[in-house]
C-alpha cells in the first residue's frame, strides 16, 4: 500500500461517523486503538426545524455499535494503518504514484516514486485506486471524468472549540438546527472536550467566511439562535476552515485489473456525512469480493464489476439524499410537521436518524404516506407564513423528486447516467483530470513475482 503522505496526516473533512461507519472501523480492527484516545461516544441526535419542531432520538444499533463518533484523521488514519500492517500489509508512506503499468490492456501494477524521488515498479494482480477525489489512479485508467455528477449548493464553514458541557447528555449529542435555508451542526470531536461547530449555508459563504471570519460567525449565530445558545460559553475557538467545492459524482470504478474505492470512485455531498463510512465499506467489500479470485483474471474482472454494481446500490439513495439536502431552500412546512410528528409519536427510539445511520434508506424513512401526512398537517396547523399555494406546489415538487429516486432504485441499472430531476444538478464544467492519461506499457517486461494487490493511498 502506497501513500504519498506520512501519517498522521490531515484531510479536509468534518469526520463525523454514524453508527454504521463506526462499525466499519470495528470490522477493520481499528476501533480499539481509536478508543484509546477516549473519543466521546454520541448516542443522541437532536434535530430542530425553525425552532418550531424538535426531536431527540437514539441511533439504531449497527452490529454492537449504537453511537456516533467524530475522530480527526490524524488519530483515525494511524489506527487504520496499524491495523493494515497487523493484517500483513506492507504500508509505504511518502510513496507517490507515478503511473499505472499495463500489459495487453490490463493494469498489472504501478510505478511509484519514494520520498527521495527514486522510481520503481511493483507488479500486482489488482491495482486499487483509493486516492481520493483528485484520484491519480482514476486519471491513469481513463475514468476521471464522472459519468454522473451533481453540483453542490451548500458549502462548509467550521471550527473547533472546548465544550463546557463535555460529559453531559448535551455534550454527547449530535445537533442539527435547520433555520430558513441554512443548517447549523454541532457534535463532540476527539480529543477530550473538543467539539466541532459547522454551518452549511450557500457554497459562496465559504469565501465570505474566509474574508471576515468573526463577522461571518456572528452573522450565522444570529441566524441560528438555538445553536448560539448551545455554543455560548465554549472556549479556545480555532480559526475557521471552509470549502465550497464538494460536487458529487460517480466514476466508472472497475476495469481489467483495476478498481477505484472510496472517494476515488464516488463522492456525495458532505451535508449528510456519509463519505468515510462509504469509503470504509467499499474497501472492505472490495477485499471480500476480489480476494478469493485474485489468481483468475477473468473471474477477478467479473467480481470487480459485481462489486461496482453493489457499491452503486449501496450508495445511490444516499447520493440523492445528499443532493436534496445540499439544495439551498427554506425548511418546508411539510418537513417541520414530519419532525413534529416523529418527535411526539416515536419517543426517543430511532426514526429520522436512520437516513444518516444507514439503518434504512431515504425512501424507507420518508415514505409517500409520510410526505402526504406532513402536507396535510401543514395545511391544518398553518404553513408558517408561507402562502398555502406555495406549500402545496413545493410538496408536489418534492413528491416528484422522491418518486424519481424510487423509480431509479427499482430500475437497478448499471452506470445509470440519467438525471433525477430535482435531485441532480449536472455540472456544466466538470473538473479536469490531474494529468493527461499516459499509459506505461510493460508488454516487453517480464516479472517473476507479482504482489497480490497494490493500493495507491
Which of 12/115 has CB closer to ligand FAD? 12
From residue 279, how far is each of 69, 177, 400 by CA, in Å?
16, 27, 30
Where b means 16+ CB within 10 Å and e means fewer, 61-70 reads bbeebbbbbb
Question: By rule CB under 6 A, what string of x and - marks binding of each residue 145-174 to ligand FAD?
Answer: -----------x------------------
Q: Is 109 in the site for ligand FAD (CB under 6 A)?
A: no
Residue from 79, 263, 351, 398 that binds ligand FAD (CB under 6 A)?
263
Cα angle 42-46-52, degrees, rounded to a multiple of 5:
170
Q: What is the dihedral of CA 174, 250, 31, 67, to 10 degrees?
A: 20
Which of 127/457 has CB closer to ligand FAD? 457
Residue from 62, 83, 136, 176 that binds ligand FAD (CB under 6 A)?
136
Q: CA 65 from chain center: how many Å?
A: 19
Least Å distance between CB 277 and ligand FAD? 5
Least Å distance between CB 149 and ligand FAD? 15
- Of residues 391 through 450, those in contact with ligand FAD by CB under 6 A are none
Closest CA to 343 of 52, 7, 29, 118: 52
Region of 261-269, 290-298, 330-338, 346-354 interacting with ligand FAD (CB under 6 A): 261-269
Least Å distance between CB 418 and ligand FAD? 24
42 CB-near residues (< 8 Å, 6+ apart): 67, 68, 69, 70, 172, 173, 174, 187, 188
Quote the longest CA-to-CA distance of the chain. Answer: 76
> In terms of DSSP bridges, do strands 106-113 and 53-58 run parallel, antiparallel, or are they unpaired?
unpaired
Asked if residue 152 lies in contact with residue 269, where contact means CB atoms within 8 angstroms, the answer is yes
From residue 177, how far is each of 114, 172, 198, 300 by CA, in Å?
46, 16, 10, 46
Q: How far apart are CA 343 and CA 347, in angstroms?
A: 7
Q: Is 190 in the site for ligand FAD (CB under 6 A)?
A: no
- 306 SS3 class: helix
Q: How far apart are CA 445 and CA 443, in angstroms?
A: 6
**Grid cell for residue 245:** 467545492
Which of 12/313 has CB closer to ligand FAD? 12
Region of 260-268, 284-292, 303-311, 410-418 interacting with ligand FAD (CB under 6 A): 260-268
Residue from 262, 333, 394, 404 that binds ligand FAD (CB under 6 A)?
262
Asked if residue 326 lies in contact with residue 154, where contact means CB atoms within 8 angstroms, the answer is yes
Question: By rule CB under 6 A, what string of x and - marks binding of each residue 5-44 to ligand FAD?
Answer: x-----xxxxxxx---------------------------
Closest CA to 283 of 256, 302, 257, 310: 310
Which of 69/395 has CB closer to ligand FAD? 69
Least Å distance between CB 397 and ligand FAD? 28
Which of 11/50 has CB closer to ligand FAD? 11
Residue from 243, 399, 427, 447 that binds ligand FAD (CB under 6 A)?
243
Region of 33-41, 263-271, 302-310, 411-419 interacting with ligand FAD (CB under 6 A): 263-271
Least Å distance between CB 434 and ligand FAD? 8
Asked if residue 76 lies in contact with residue 55, where contact means CB atoms within 8 angstroms, the answer is no
Q: Is 82 in the site for ligand FAD (CB under 6 A)?
A: no
First to last CA, the chain: 7
Q: Is 123 in the site for ligand FAD (CB under 6 A)?
A: no
Q: How big is the site for ligand FAD, counted in residues (CB under 6 A)?
A: 32
Least Å distance between CB 65 and ligand FAD? 15
Least Å distance between CB 199 and ligand FAD? 12
Beta carbons within 10 angstroms of residue 417's beta carbon: 11
Q: Is 97 in the site for ligand FAD (CB under 6 A)?
A: yes
- Residues of this chain that interact with ligand FAD (CB under 6 A) are 2-5, 11-17, 96-97, 130-132, 136, 156, 243, 246, 262-264, 270, 273-277, 279, 456-457
Amino acid at each position: 500500500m502506497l501513500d504519498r503522505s506520512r501519517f498522521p496526516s490531515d484531510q479536509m473533512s468534518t469526520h463525523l461517523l454514524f453508527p454504521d461507519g463506526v462499525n466499519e472501523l470495528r470490522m477493520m480492527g481499528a476501533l480499539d486503538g481509536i478508543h484509546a484516545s477516549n473519543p466521546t461516544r454520541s448516542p443522541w441526535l437532536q434535530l430542530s426545524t425553525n425552532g418550531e419542531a424538535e426531536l431527540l432520538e437514539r441511533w439504531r444499533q449497527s452490529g454492537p455499535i449504537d453511537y456516533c463518533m467524530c475522530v480527526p484523521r490524524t488519530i483515525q488514519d494511524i489506527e487504520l494503518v496499524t491495523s493494515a500492517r497487523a493484517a500483513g500489509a506492507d504500508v509505504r508512506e511518502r510513496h507517490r504514484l507515478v503511473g499505472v503499468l499495463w500489459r495487453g490492456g490490463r493494469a498489472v501494477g504501478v510505478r511509484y516514486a519514494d520520498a527521495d524521488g527514486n522510481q520503481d515498479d511493483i507488479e500486482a494482480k489488482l491495482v486499487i485506486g483509493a486516492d481520493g477525489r483528485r484520484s491519480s489512479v482514476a486519471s491513469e485508467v481513463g475514468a476521471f471524468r464522472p459519468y454522473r455528477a451533481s453540483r453542490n449548493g451548500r458549502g462548509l464553514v467550521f471550527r473547533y472549540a472546548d465544550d463546557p458541557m463535555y460529559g453531559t447528555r448535551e455534550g454527547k449529542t449530535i445537533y442539527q438546527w435547520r433555520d430558513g435555508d441554512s443548517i447549523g451542526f454541532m457534535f463532540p470531536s476527539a480529543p477530550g472536550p473538543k467539539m466541532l461547530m459547522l454551518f452549511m449555508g450557500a457554497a459562496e459563504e465559504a469565501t465570505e467566511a474566509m474574508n471576515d471570519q468573526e463577522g461571518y460567525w456572528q452573522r450565522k449565530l444570529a441566524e441560528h439562535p438555538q445553536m448560539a445558545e448551545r455554543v455560548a460559553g465554549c472556549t479556545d475557538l480555532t480559526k475557521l476552515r471552509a470549502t465550497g467545492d464538494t460536487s458529487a459524482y460517480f466514476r466508472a470504478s472497475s476495469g481489467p485489473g483495476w478498481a477505484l474505492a472510496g472517494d476515488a470512485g464516488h463522492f456525495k455531498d458532505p451535508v449528510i456525512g456519509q463519505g468515510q463510512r462509504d469509503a470504509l465499506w467499499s474497501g472492505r467489500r472490495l477485499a471480500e469480493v476480489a480476494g478469493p479470485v485474485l489468481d483468475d483474471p477473468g473471474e477477478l474482472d467479473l467480481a470487480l464489476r459485481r462489486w461496482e454494481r453493489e457499491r452503486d446500490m449501496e450508495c445511490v439513495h444516499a447520493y440523492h439524499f445528499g443532493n436534496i439536502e445540499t439544495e439551498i431552500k427554506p425548511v418546508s412546512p411539510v418537513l417541520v410537521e414530519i419532525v413534529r410528528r416523529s418527535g411526539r409519536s416515536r419517543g426517543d427510539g430511532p426514526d429520522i436518524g436512520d437516513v444518516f445511520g444507514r439503518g434504512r434508506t431515504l425512501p424507507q424513512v420518508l415514505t409517500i404516506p409520510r410526505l402526504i401526512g406532513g402536507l396535510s398537517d401543514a395545511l391544518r396547523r398553518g404553513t408558517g407564513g408561507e402562502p398555502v399555494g406555495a406549500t402545496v406546489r413545493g410538496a408536489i415538487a418534492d413528491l416528484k423528486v422522491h418518486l424519481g429516486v424510487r423509480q431509479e432504485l427499482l430500475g437497478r441499472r448499471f452506470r445509470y447516467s440519467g438525471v433525477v430531476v430535482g435531485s441532480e444538478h449536472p455540472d456544466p464544467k466538470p473538473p479536469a483530470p490531474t494529468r493527461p492519461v499516459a499509459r506505461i506499457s510493460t508488454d516487453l517486461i517480464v516479472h517473476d513475482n507479482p504482489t497480490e494487490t497494490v493500493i495507491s493511498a
